[in-house]
Structure 1
């Protein structure tokens, strides 16, 4: 009888874990909560870090304001070297690094306003501070000297450029000098600049070939 009415003990099956996995201790809940608490993720996708780009925008905006302040300051000054240089020294006195970008933007603003004398003054002040001028700044300076009627001074700076940078003078500077001499009807100088251009191009080609051998 006992054998007929005996109970069979069947092992109890474990219920499926809510998270779909065993041994997680509520891992599915923790994953969801961690994603919700992490601001760097949205639906499991990591947000890009825009801190660097924001820094660039702030720096660009700051240099623009500095450039406007420089232009407004020197535009009200008399055409005296001491007054202009003193104002420029005060403008850059409290900067942790020399405001090169702001100065370049200021030169662009002065060029649009056709304030050629101020361009010459600011550029020479930059040179007196030991700042290396870019090709754009050199081009602006040559144009300002020409428009201010100081062709001899522009020619002197041009000769310095040719002697210092034997292989890297851009074509737009040659074009600037050719146009300047052509307007002045100095065809001998036009031919001289063109010959210098061809000579520098030839030197550059030979230099490239020598470095490749």
Structure 2
């Protein structure tokens, strides 16, 4: 009876295997460092050892490109740290200014004057810091300044600005911004923004506006589902 082996263990071969395997060479590889063959145990082990050695050499020759990933990761860390410091500088600047719009906008223009690109990440981080500190007037001023520069027109910025309007009792400005968002960002308004407006109207005891906003939300969802 013919025997095959995997490493040094032997087992009977089926009739189909006998017909397919010819000679004393390795028949085929299973791809995981071992083969099926018809050689005696010693020869089979020798061939498997040679095969493992060739695989090891191939792995050694394979180029490993880890430096690029590490450099990119470090670059991202440096950028994150830099934007964080810029954000803190912005917060420090606006916190010490009087409330006049012209004074604040002038200081913000100086803050960004030497930048080759608008520091959007730093400005967004500054907004989050001001929001956590409940400095609502400064949130409004910085957010409006960003939007006046054509920057930061995102659902996150709108949400922060609407919250600041709510906390600073500027319902009219909140409604004006909300209507702009409804007409400009049709079918792409986040649920959070609808929730923010409903909360604002509830906070200021405006039930009719709550119903109106809810209807707008339902209509927006129907348009999204229908794809129109």
TM-score per shorter chain, which class? Answer: 0.7 to 0.9
Query: Which of 185, 188, 191 is the aligned partner of 1:165?
Result: 185
Deviation per residue, 1:140-176 (Å, 9 max, x gap): 0000011001011101100110011110000000000
The 1:43/1:112 distance shift into structure 2, 3 A limit, reads farther
Higher strand share: 2
Q: Distance in 1 between matches of 2:143 and 2:65?
A: 44
Deviation per residue, 1:102-138 (Å, 9 max, x gap): 0000000000000000011011111111214211111
Aligned pairs for 1:111-190 within 5 A: 111-190=131-210
Which residue is 2:76 aligned to?
A: 56
TM-score, normalised by the number of residues in structure 1: 0.75
Which residue is 1:103 aligned to?
A: 123
TM-score, normalised by the number of residues in structure 2: 0.70
Q: Distance in 2 between matches of 1:133 and 1:105?
A: 15
- Large movers: runs of 4+ above 3 Å: 42-47
Q: CA deviation at 1:43?
A: 11
Q: CA deviation at 1:46?
A: 3.2
Deviation per residue, 1:22-44 (Å, 9 max, x gap): xxxxxxxxxxxxxxxxxxxx998
Gaps of 5+ in 1: 1-41
